[in-house]
A = this chain, B = another copy of it.
Amino acid sequence: MTQSIQPVIAGPIFNQDSTDFFYCRTPEQMSAPEVHAYIDRLARAGIGTYVSCGNAMKANFATEVWECEWSGYDPAGPDDQPVLRHLPPASVALTRNRLDSVKRLADQGVDYHREVLARCRHHGIGAWMSVRMNDVHGCMDDDNPLLSRFFVEQRAARKLRAMHRDRFWMDRALDWERPEVQEHYFKLVCELLNRYDLDGLELDWMRFVVHFRPGRELEGGKVITAWMRRVKTECAKAAARLGHPVRLGARVPTRPETARRLGLDGVAWAKEGLIDLLVAAPFWATADFDVPVAEWQRLLAGTAVHFTVSVEVRYQPAPEGPAQMISPALLSGLAATIRHGGADSVYLFNIFPTGHGLEGQWGADNYDAVIRALRDPATVAARERVHAITYHDVRAPGEPNGNALPATDLKWDQPSPGGFAFRVQTGPKPEAGRACVLTVEWAAPAPEATAVRTHVNGRELKLIATDKGVWRYAVPTALLEDEAQVVEIETPGKDTVVRLELQIAAKG
């Protein structure tokens, strides 16, 4: 087996929370070769760095300092045992399969992450671990296999983040200003750094984004920064032990000022030299098609940080509206804007081959082809791409909602009174000959087509098809600009746009 050290961080970066492996396989399939085969498959697809997530509230390996995922679960027990009885009945079998699988592998003496990391090194893929810093999956349930004793104790003592409201799972996030919370996570981080041969450790602050009592975000951010300095020291110790660098990374929201206002000041961490990898990420509701990549680049100028943007598997144009899994064309479109903006790579979150069924939807070959294309900006830009309007699914407490969709014509609103305007990020200007189509979907009832005028960059478009509320316009390729297009729509009434996409055909 070749042991290669990853000299720099390479993309695409693939985050795996281990559920894809354990949910989608039976206990009988558990073995070290099965783990290797999983990594081999991603290596063929061309990933550059693999980030293996070790925990939610519990660890998914045989930890000596936390609880394991299967702690409190009796594989031989009934479906109404304490940790299962509060689950929706439909999910009990899946949960048991996952717990049985993860336990079976550990019981064989196989450490899932050790195998994963070693196999990554074998392929020359960057081998990272990730820690979710405040995962609260299951927090509204009385009991649940996901709940840690530590969380349950903090909850019972009403020490969580927003107990004055206590209505929503994010209200039940741990309060990171509490020393016991900091020490709880520090233990796990130290275990990972001591236990594994890893190229880097990612702190995933996006699970679940809010770590402080409302209004305490800026003070709390100082606490996190101080805590990260301790982790950085531990990384240096691990590097000395391992004889190669152990880098530190962080996932933060997609907008720098929102991140700062949540106490997740990725720019400050980069400037201080605390981190080597910074991931701008949505929470979960939708991939974010309007990340200010250029602004991040400027803020990080002069640092050596590897900057990347995390793509989520979900595509949802408007909050509470319909959603679908991201398509190859949407992923290519988004990735083209990320790379065009200057990000060092594309980061994939929940973009699992089997989990969420992407291979099934896309086809296995297509899955590999999309992932591989992310390595090179020109390659991904040459694919069929769809550029869409979504929203930022993370806001700091009190930050106003700036969702672009659904858009209802306010008539008086500047800078486009009497209509709508959208700004769609589109990455590099497409080459001549690549057909472009604009799709606009209306809430019912759609307006009269003859009463609507639609412009891209000031040029009126020709409506080529209407299918109920979904209208398609031909867009002359020559009028497209680099980076972004402005779409203006004028309607006589109070109509509502619910979806807008700009499709660019693959390079001929």
Contacts and interface: CB of A to CB of B under 8 A. Distances in A.
A261 B293 CA distance: 12
5 contacts: A165-B455, A215-B479, A395-B415, A398-B487, A398-B488
Contacts of A413: 319, 401
Interface string A398-434: 1111111001001011111111011110000000000
A479 B210 CA distance: 19
Given A395-B414, A397-B486, A294 B215 contact: no
Interface stretch (A48-56, A295-303, A324-332): A295-303
A316 to B, nearest CB: 13
B397 A213 contact: no
A416 B165 CA distance: 9
Interface in A150-175: 162, 164-165, 167-168, 170
Interface in A380-407: 391, 393, 395-404, 407
B170 A415 contact: yes
B398 A421 contact: yes
A107 interface: no
B484 A412 contact: no
Contacts of A295: 256-257, 260, 299
A280 interface: no
B401 A424 contact: no
A162 B395 contact: no
Interface string A17-61: 000000000000000000000000000000000000000000000
A218 B482 contact: yes
B302 A299 contact: no
Contact of A486 (B215, B292, B403, B421): B215
A426 to B, nearest CB: 11
A429 to B, nearest CB: 10
Contacts of A419: 165
Interface stretch (A93-101, A305-313, A456-464): A456-464
A490 interface: yes
Interface in A254-276: 256-257, 260-261, 267
A141 to B, nearest CB: 18
A64 interface: no
A485 interface: yes
A352 to B, nearest CB: 25
A467 interface: no
Contacts of A479: 215
A398 B170 contact: no
A414 B283 CA distance: 11
A481 interface: yes
Contact of A398 (B168, B400, B483, B486): B486
Given A267-B298, A402-B402, A168 B218 contact: no
A365 interface: no
Contacts of A260: 294-295
Given A261-B484, A298-B299, A485-B215, A210 B455 contact: no
A380 to B, nearest CB: 21
A397 B418 contact: no
B218 A412 contact: no
Interface in A226-268: 256-257, 260-261, 267
A214 interface: yes
A20 B408 CA distance: 40
A415 B320 CA distance: 14
A68 B167 CA distance: 65
Contact of A396 (B210, B400, B402, B423): B423
